[in-house]
Amino acid sequence: MKNKKKIEIKLDNNSELPLRDVVFQTLRGAIINGDFEPGERLMEVKLADSLGVSRTPVREAIRMLELEGLVVMKPRRGAEVAGITLKELRDSLEVRLVLERLAVKLACERISDAEKLELIQINNDFHTAIINKKVPDIVEADVAFHDKIYDITANRRLIYVAHALNEQVYRYRVEYVKDFMYHDVLIKEHDEITKAIVERNVEAAKEVIEKHIYNQELIVIKNLSSEG
């Protein structure tokens, strides 16, 4: 087993976040960047020593990673970096599609003039992240874009359910934004979603969000097949 990862993983000591969250962000970034491979064990003691922290924040961070689907707990082995199965992918995206269709519909109906400007700016931020080609930044910009659409709905229950699902689909977001050949399509879809919502075009918004989720599934499946 390669052990270069523990040398490369470093905490952001200047962060104002709680230590648990700093460790979580650090480990999540390492998984996203491929420093940890699917099936690789995350040993609390080794990680704590490498990061210069106690085992408690590492244990808490691993639990948070498990909620996001980036880590699985295995009997007699403990925490492992999760792989991605096609069944889990399709199950998650089926639910996400229903939620996103509802979200864009309500957003079209309820968006204010101020929120139109905010959505456009967040989409511009997504463009910038794509140009900079840093996968963690692209993922966060994608999350921010879709979260803004949910916020525009002003439906607290929908927002709660969507945020819970976000933890489950985070890994899939990572996988499909890692495919740089797809980025032009991704930008085009975000632009079309933004335009449809700003113009309150419900049917166009629903059509493009369906295409957006469907393309995500295709890209992730393609990447998984090529890796296998």
Q: Residue holding tokens 């990447």?
A: 223
- Can you give the pLDDT at residue 164? 85
Strand pairing partners for 71?
81
What pLDDT digit, counting tens, does each position of 35-66 carry? 888 889 999 999 999 999 999 999 999 999 99
Q: Rounding to the nearest 10 degrees, give the CA dihedral for residues 19, 21, 22, 26.
A: 140
What pLDDT digit, counting tens, does each position of 66-86 carry? 988 889 999 988 999 988 788
Sequence ranges of the chain with CATH classification 1.20.120.530: 86-227
The two structure tokens encoding residue 102: 């509802």
Going by C-alpha positions, the residue among 134, 66, 101, 93 that lies closest to residue 219 is 93
Whether pLDDT at 147 is above 80? yes
Inter-residue contact 175 to 145 (CB < 8 Å) = no
Higher pLDDT, residue 115 or 32: 115
Whether pLDDT at 11 is above 90? no
- For 60-86, the DSSP string reads HHHHHHHHTTSEEEETTTEEEE----H
Going by C-alpha positions, the residue among 210, 150, 144 that lies closest to residue 173 is 144
Sequence ranges of the chain with CATH classification 1.10.10.10: 5-81
- Please state the pTM of the whole predicted model: 0.77
Tell me what percent of the residues of the chain surpass a pLDDT of 70: 92
- 86-227, superfamily in CATH? GntR ligand-binding domain-like (1.20.120.530)
Q: How far is CA 82 from the centre of its chain?
A: 14
Average pLDDT for residues 169-189, to the nearest whole number?
A: 88
Going by C-alpha positions, the residue among 63, 73, 65 that lies closest to residue 168 is 65
Lowest mean pLDDT among 115-124, 146-155, 177-186: 177-186
Residue 31 confidence class, pLDDT cut points 50, 70, 90: confident
What pLDDT digit, counting tens, does each position of 131-141 carry? 999 988 999 99
CATH 1.10.10.10 fits 5-81, yes or no: yes
3-state per-residue secondary structure call for 168-213: HHHHHHHHHHCCHHHHHHHHHHHHHHHHHHHCCCHHHHHHHHHHHH
Q: Which amino acid is at 65?
A: L
